[in-house]
Amino acid sequence: MHPHTQLIHLGRETATAAHAVSPPLVRTSTTVFATYGAYKQAQRNQVFDAPRYGRSGTSTTFELQRAMAALAGTESCIATSCGLSAITAVLAAHAGPGRHILLSSGVYGPTRVFCDKELAPTGTQVEFFPHGADIAPLIRDHTSLVFIETPASLTMEMLDVRAVCAAAHARGVPVACDSTWGTPLFFDAHRLGIDLSLHAATKFINGHSDLMLGLVTGSADALAALRAHCDRSGTHAAPDACWLALRGLRTLAVRLERHQASALVVANWLARHPAVRRVLFPALPSDPGHALWHSQFTGAAGPFTIELAPCTEEAFTRFIDGLSLFSLGTSWGGFESLVMPAVPHHLRALAAPADAPRLVRLHVGLEDPQDLCNDLAAAMGGL
């Protein structure tokens, strides 16, 4: 079936018994079994699609996991408590003294913080590489994982996913990718060679800015270490969040189409504005990463980053505070438009020099795009 059809019909197996269109929300801490044999079988089961204990999921959890795996074109999925927990669980499952993990330099800020503050001090060798680098010479005999994010979290830089996967797989190293920006509809991660595809379902997949959830898809073998880590650490999602994500999943295709159309209108308008030096959005033909984006993605709903001309802190503050339709917030992927200074985590406590370029990340929501352009125009009047 076409993915748009799958979005409507996947994850509804348990709805029939309830005589409902949507599957019921099942909450429980304790799973009960009819026989001792069934209990023993459940404890031996290494697949996260059958009940064992409330922590590892209910039928609601399994509905979402099966739906997401099918959308991603793979066999399995694990739901975690948030996007960051999916990231840290994948990294921790492949970390340890004497192991080496390679990461693209533009990963989500908290990903870098976790590596620097949690993994490196306990013996994992962590190494970051530029987005355009050939990683083959960087892979060592003890490299346990290559972790990438495309495009880069703030700078929107693209990388050659096929080349990264080919180099890693030639040495028997799995590749994990934060695929939140593309979602399974715009970015076919596993077809490109990625072993573990991670999503902050908090964002586009849910689409309503009212839950925290992470999802990781891949083959059963690729997810084996992650499953074991989640069992040990309790890094699981609540069924309430899974039920809300299933609700959001139904409208993912139509929302992405609207986000994309509006983002292109706003990005092209900004590219012509005198106060904007650059628009960092790989879906634009003028972007340096456009060719790679076109070869690896089928769409781009955003978010994207703009570089403003240098200005004083006071003028920049007036611009941010002058926006009325763009709320100031650090997330994206919901129905509402958001703005955020695109400053890496390790630099946020420092004052920017007066002549420094100002990077701003925008998430274009579901409002009318002309209204959003008008809002930006009014706020940019003092720049």
Residues involved in catalysis: 55, 108, 178, 203
Q: Is-contact 358 316, C-beta < 8 A?
A: yes
What are the structure tokens assigned to 314, written together? 């006071």
Q: Sheet holding 327-328: strands in order across?
A: 276-280, 304-308, 358-363, 338-341, 327-328
Distances (CA, A) of 24 to 12, 88, 148, 246, 279: 9, 30, 36, 11, 44
Give me 116's structure tokens.
């620097």
Question: Quick one: tokens of 330?
Answer: 């650090």
**Is residue 181 a contact partner of residue 293, using CB atoms and an 8 Å limit?**
no
Token pair in block for residue 199: 């999503």
- Cis amide prior to 357 (ω within 30 degrees): no
Q: Which of 75, 58, 57, 54 is nearest to 66 (CA)?
A: 75
Contact 313, 320 (CB under 8 A): no
Torsions phi, psi of 121, nearest 5?
-65, -15
Asked if residues 283 and 301 have their Cβ atoms less than 8 Å apart, the reply is no
| Token couple for 173 | 């190293």
Considering Cα of 70, then 72, then 75, then 80, what sign does the dihedral take? negative
Percent of residues in the chain assigned helix, strand, coil, to nearest 5? 40, 15, 45
CA atoms of 248 and 122, how far apart (whole Å): 39
